[in-house]
Amino acid sequence: MRKNTLLVCCWLVTFSVIAQQRITFDAIFRQGIFHQKSIYGVNWMKTGSFYSSQEGNDIVKYDVQTGQKVETILKGSDLSPQIQFDGYSFSDDEQKILLTTETESIYRYSFKAFYYVYDLKTKKLTKISQGGKQSYATFSPSGSQVAFVRDNNLFLVNLKDNSEQQLTSDGKFNHIINGSTDWVYEEEFGFAPAFFWSPDGSKIAFYTFDESKVPEYNMQVWDDSKLYPIDYRFKYPKAGETNSTVKISVYHLADNKTVSMDIGTKTDIYIPRINWTTDSNLLAIRRMNRLQNKMELLHTNATTGRSTVILTEEDTDGYVDVEYSDDLTYLKDGKHFIYSDETTTGFKHLSLYTMDGKKVRQITSGNWEVKTLVGVQENGKKTQIFYTSTEVSPLESHFYQIDLQGKKKEKLTDKIGTNRINMSRDFAYYMVYHSNTNTPLNVSLFETKKNKLIKVLEDNKKLAQNAEKYQFAQKELFDFQTKDGTKLYGFMLKPSDFDASKKYPVLMYMYGGPSSQSVQNSWGGRHFAWHQMLTQQGYIVVCVDNRGTDARGEKFKKSTYANLGKYEVQDQVDTYNYLSKLNYIDASRVGVWGWSYGGYMSSLCMTLGADFFKAGIAVAPVSNWRFYDTIYTERFLQRPQDNASGYDDYSPVAHVNKLKGKYLLIHGTGDDNVHFQNSIALQNALIQAGKQFQSFYYPNRNHSIYGGNTREHLYKMLNDFILKNL
CB 262 within 8 A of CB 300: yes
Can you tell me the distance from the alpha carbon of 302 to that of 286, in angstroms, rounded to the nearest whole number? Answer: 15
C-alpha neighbours within 13 Å on the C-beta side of residue 193: 16
Residue-range definition of the domain harbouring residue 517: 22-34+463-725
Q: Crossing angle of helices 528-536/710-725, nearest 10°?
A: 40
Query: What angle separates helix 597-607 from helix 566-580, to the nearest 10 degrees?
Result: 70
The answer as to whether 320 is a domain residue is no
Percent of the chain predicted with pLDDT > 70:
97
Cα-based distances in Å from 309 to 240, 274, 295, 318, 359? 28, 14, 10, 22, 14
Residue 673 has pLDDT above 50, yes or no: yes
On whether residue 675 sits in a domain, the answer given is yes
Question: Within 107-207, where are the H helices?
Answer: 183-189
* pLDDT at position 261 over 50: yes
* CA gap 482, 583 in Å, rounded: 19
Comparing C-alpha atoms, which of 47, 49, 86, 85 is closest to residue 68?
49
Closest residue by Cα to residue 540 from 601, 473, 477: 473
Query: Is 715 within the bounds of a domain?
Result: yes
> Into how many domains does the chain fold?
1
Predicted local confidence at residue 64, as pLDDT: 87
Query: What is the CB neighbour count within 10 angstroms for residue 408?
Result: 10
Longest dimension (CA), the chain: 101
Asked if residue 424 is part of any domain, the answer here is no
The single-letter DSSP state of residue 528 is H
Preceding omega of 229 cis (within 30 degrees of 0): no
Mean pLDDT of 454-466: 95
Mean pLDDT, to the nearest integer, of 456-472?
A: 96
Per residue in 32-72, pLDDT (tens digit) is: 999 999 988 789 999 888 999 999 999 999 998 887 899 99
Amino acid in position 136: Y
**8 Å CB contact between 186 and 109:** yes
| Alpha-carbon span 585 to 591, nearest angstrom | 12
Per-residue pLDDT band at 19 (split at 50, 70, 90): low
How much is the average pLDDT of 552-561?
Answer: 97
CA–CA separation, 548 and 570 (whole Å) = 12
- What 3-state class would DSSP assign to 431? strand
In a domain, 650, yes or no: yes
Across residues 432-439, what is the average pLDDT?
97
Mean pLDDT of 179-189: 98
pLDDT band of residue 11 (cuts 50, 70, 90) is very low
Sorted by sequence, the CB contacts under 8 Å of residue 55 that are 6+ apart come out as none
* pLDDT reported for residue 48: 84
Q: CATH number of the domain at 706, please.
A: 3.40.50.1820
**In-domain check, residue 359:** no
Separate counts of helices (H) and strands (E) for the chain: 12, 43
Position 564, amino acid? L
* 423, pLDDT greater than 50: yes
pLDDT band at 1 (very low <50, low <70, confident <90, very high): very low
Is 481 part of any domain?
yes
Tell me, yes or no, whether 448 lies in a domain: no
Mean pLDDT of the chain: 95
Q: Which is more confidently placed, 104 or 526?
A: 104
Full-model pTM: 0.95
